[in-house]
A = this chain, B = another copy of it.
Amino acid sequence: MPLPSPLPERLQALLGPDGFTTDAAECLVYGYDNSRQQAQADAVAFPATHEHVEALVRLCREFRVPIVARGRGTNTTGATVPVAGGVVVSFERMNRIVRIDPDNRLAVVEPGVLNGELQQVLRPLGFFWAPDPTSSPFCTIGGNLACNAAGPRTVKYGSPRENTLGLRAVDGTGASFRSGFWTSKAATGYDLTRLLVGSEGTLALITEATLKLTPLPAAKRTLRATYADIRSAAAAVSRIMAQPVTPCALEFLDDEALRLARQHGGDAIPVAGALLMIEVDGEEATLDTAVAAVSRAAEGAGLVELRAAADAAEVDTLWAARKALSPALRAIAPMKINEDVVVPVSRLPELISGLKAISAKYTIPIVNFGHAGNGNIHVNLLYRPDDPQQAAAAPDCLAAVFDLVLSLDGTLSGEHGIGLAKREWMSRAIDPVSVALMRRIKAGFDPDGILNPGKLLPD
């Protein structure tokens, strides 16, 4: 559907020849994300400044045209798919690192900066930004903030909500504001920063972020522990998280995930019922003690082998194999359903057992891996749409997974967000009063509902 006249002309005039297009082919490629869902945008805008974004929102609001903020489309939930048409706002031109301030442990960036790019700039200064999604080389800070996207390091260093000091943003009326502070501590009014983080572009467009930096640890050690079976590994995760030394990564791979990882990582990846990758970091002098503490917790019934990664090459192999899992699974099962459910760590054994039972009941293979230290498991339902029995069973199978997770005091998503994919489940995961409060907050920020309509909140 073409945009109402004269909106395209006015947006073109605002953003310049390179800043706006209604070309159907361009609109098509900006209309999908890593959910493999797709919709046709009516236009794509490439603002270069905060003022562009502010004027753009005001114009779109005047014509009641939807606006979908987009980083690089690496999210897996359809959060950036323009299901109601309108203007996709790609932040690829707003990719400046505005300021790095090591003295105050903060960095100011535009939303289009890539996560990996920022980490590279920070490393020589002795700092990092904690969130590290697997897609780090390709995903933007803006997208990380929108989805509260996290990664392995979250278990020790927190998610974007714990690592963002302030934001500059434009609400759904085109009004600009700053949330948060330049300080590491504040008790001055409601916390709008954390409200925007994880709101998936439904409350405001973020045009600048002040990020909290963390000093790079001096050293790191990587352990791998193999277990006879999945339950034993899950029980070890609980024990590791119940003792004082918090690992900076505690990743879990089940037997099926290991088999696949071995195809990518070769013989360095062991055959086992399950594997844990355990990393501890800190001052070099501290690591022997830390390794001893997590090792004691990793030991127990079902442990097959616990050993330090032989060398840096083996660490790289382990991580490469772990990070290749999601794309590798997609190659096997293009329509796989990948959920990133979370349960309290002590409920992991029940989750993993329950998932095995669900897989058997619905005869759909389920491969599990993920950030076990947070209880955040990527549950991959490898269903084949061309198998009529599996295609028919998939929705019930997924429902059973979510029912299981909620019954274990868990939640729908640890780091992917809701987007389109889990919207209909929100009413089961969140109580009705909270959903109503979220709707009222949404109306307060975006009274005309033009910001990313059809996402996150249920209908």
On A, residues with C-beta under 8 Å from B are: 101-106, 126, 147-150, 154-155, 158-159, 161-162, 171, 175-179, 181-192, 194-195, 197-199, 203, 215-218, 238, 241-246, 282-283, 285-286, 288-290, 342-346, 371, 374-376, 409-418, 422, 426, 429-431, 433-438, 440-445, 456-457
- A427: min CB distance to chain B, Å: 11
Contacts of A103 in B (CB 8 A): 238, 241-242, 344-346
Copy tally for this chain in the complex stands at: 2
Contact B198 A187 (CB under 8 A): yes
A376 proximity list for chain B (CB < 8 A): 183, 185
Select from chain B the residue with minimum beta-carbon distance to A178.
B431
Which interface residue of A286, A374, A413, A437 has the most chain B CB atoms within 10 A? A437
CB A431 to nearest CB in B, in angstroms, measures 5
Contact B241 A177 (CB under 8 A): no
Q: Verify B375–A188 contact, CB threshold 8 A.
A: no
Closest partner residue, chain B, to A341 (CB atom): B183
Chain B residues within an 8 Å CB radius of A283: 245, 286, 289-290
Minimum C-beta distance from A104 to chain B (A): 4
Task: Please give me the 7 A-B residue pairs with the lowest Cβ-Cβ distance, nearest first.
Answer: A440-B444, A215-B244, A286-B286, A177-B433, A194-B194, A103-B346, A185-B374
What's the nearest-Cβ distance from chain B to residue A204, in Å? 9
Known: A183-B376, A441-B441. 7 other contacts (CB 8 A): A105-B242, A149-B187, A158-B162, A188-B430, A189-B198, A190-B441, A283-B286
Which residues of B have CB within 8 Å of A418? 187-189
Task: Verify A181–B346 contact, CB threshold 8 A.
Answer: no
Q: Is the CB of B410 within 8 A of A190?
A: no
Contact B438 A189 (CB under 8 A): yes
Residue from the set A148, A150, A342 with the largest chain B CB neighbour count within 10 Å: A342
The residue from B176, B185, B191, B375 contacting A433, defined by CB atoms under 8 A apart = B176
